[in-house]
Amino acid sequence: MASGISGQHSGKNQILGHLGALLCIMMWGVSFVSTKVLLEHEMQPVEIYVYRFTLAYLMILCFKRTRWFSDNWRDEIALMLCGLLGGSIYFLAENFALEYTLVSNVSLLTSISPLITTLLVGALYKADRPGGGMLLGSLVAFIGVACVIFNSSFNLQINPLGDILALSAAFSWSLYSLILKRLNAVYDVWFITRKTFFYGVLTALPFMFIEHPRYTPFSAASCMPVLLNILFLGLGASLIAYVLWAATVKKVGAVKANNYMYLQPIFTMIVSVIALHEHVSAIGYTGCGLILLGLWLGDRLTALAKKKEGK
């Protein structure tokens, strides 16, 4: 009886984990459009990052400040790495990459993150090593991502510096997810998220002052489009999404959670059509179908393989 209850509880956790991942990706997909609006208002990339994560940090600090430090210096270093890898390095590498290469290049290369995570988990954790089904599903989904990204253009150029920065962003996010896997076993998601925001902002501040920010907190608050988009990025795409992401990695694992990132271009494309009136071609719709097929294949083939092993 206890085993049955435990199984139901585990199944419920899995469902909640998948729903959490989907909500995160929806907000992160919309965040590309929101960031574009801020850039059009002449806000700098580093400025956007610092304001959104400072807001998120202050909000989480309002109701979660009972603990300031981790159990030991190794865990504190791990939390600092979360701030670097999942915060400042990821966002700054992605944003600066846009200055040296095409948007399509950056979108495609940062979408490699789930594949990198799958390979890293396979190399580091034998028990969680992904099977052929998961790899096949990831490949199909990645092809779909490429189709969505090249929805309106097949213009692809090689720009070494920008492309290396985009790849660095993808690798950075994968490492962040793996560190989360270990920290989630010891600390609650609110503490991890708060520390991630703190170290992320702390390590990005030097870049902000070098670039000389164009907005003060007061001038940003006085411009309604800037204020609304900063609020969404800070409270939605940062605070809520990062807490959900940490919980999702804990419930479903780093590989399954990161595979949801293949859906990000779909949500970005949908919002771009609605808000920016961008056109969606047949190849864009094909890409959406391939992403969904890849995610389904990976999950289905993995489930069948485990069932076969159980026999």
Average pLDDT over every residue of 273-279: 68
Alpha helices in 89-223 (DSSP H): 89-97, 103-110, 113-124, 132-149, 160-183, 189-211, 217-222
Residue 94 forms part of a structural domain: yes
Alpha helices in 184-261 (DSSP H): 189-211, 217-222, 224-231, 241-252, 254-259
pLDDT in tens, 24-40: 888 887 887 788 788 88
Average pLDDT over every residue of 120-144: 69
Please tell me the predicted confidence (pLDDT) of residue 1. 46
pLDDT in tens, 73-125: 999 999 999 999 998 998 888 777 766 765 555 666 677 777 777 777 766 76
What percent of the chain shows pLDDT beyond 70? Answer: 75
Contacts made by residues 55-59, CB under 8 angstroms, sequence distance 24+: 55/230, 55/231, 55/234, 55/235, 55/238, 55/239, 56/197, 56/234, 56/235, 56/238, 56/239, 56/242, 57/194, 57/197, 57/198, 57/201, 59/234, 59/235, 59/239
Residue 298 forms part of a structural domain: yes
- Whether residue 154 is predicted with pLDDT greater than 60 in this model: the reply is no
Please state, in angstroms and rounded to a whole number, the distance separating the CA atoms of residues 250 and 252: 6
Domains held by the chain: number: 1
Residues 6+ apart with CB under 8 A from 17: 247, 248, 250, 251, 252, 256, 257
Please tell me the predicted confidence (pLDDT) of residue 79. 95
Residue 45 forms part of a structural domain: yes
pLDDT in tens, 196-223: 999 999 999 988 888 778 888 888 889 9
CA distances from 190 to 46, 88, 136, 257 (A): 24, 19, 34, 18
- Whether residue 4 is predicted with pLDDT greater than 70 in this model: the reply is no
Residues 6+ apart with CB under 8 A from 202: 83
Please tell me the predicted confidence (pLDDT) of residue 203. 92
Query: Mean pLDDT in the chain?
Result: 78
Residue 95 forms part of a structural domain: yes
Residues 6+ apart with CB under 8 A from 222: none
3-class SS at 229?
Answer: helix
Please tell me the predicted confidence (pLDDT) of residue 102. 58
Residue 200 forms part of a structural domain: yes
Residue 9 forms part of a structural domain: no
Residue 22 forms part of a structural domain: no
Closest CA to 84 of 72, 93, 71, 75: 93
Q: What is the dihedral of CA 147, 151, 152, 154, to 10 degrees?
A: 0
Between residues 11 and 85, which one has the greater pLDDT?
85
- Whether residue 251 is predicted with pLDDT greater than 50 in this model: the reply is yes
Residue 274 forms part of a structural domain: yes
Least confident range from 63-67, 236-240, 300-304: namely 300-304
Please tell me the predicted confidence (pLDDT) of residue 139. 76
- Whether residue 228 is predicted with pLDDT greater than 70 in this model: the reply is yes
pLDDT in tens, 162-175: 777 888 888 898 89
Please tell me the predicted confidence (pLDDT) of residue 144. 74
| Structural domain boundaries, residue 40 | 32-310
CB 166 within 8 A of CB 109: yes
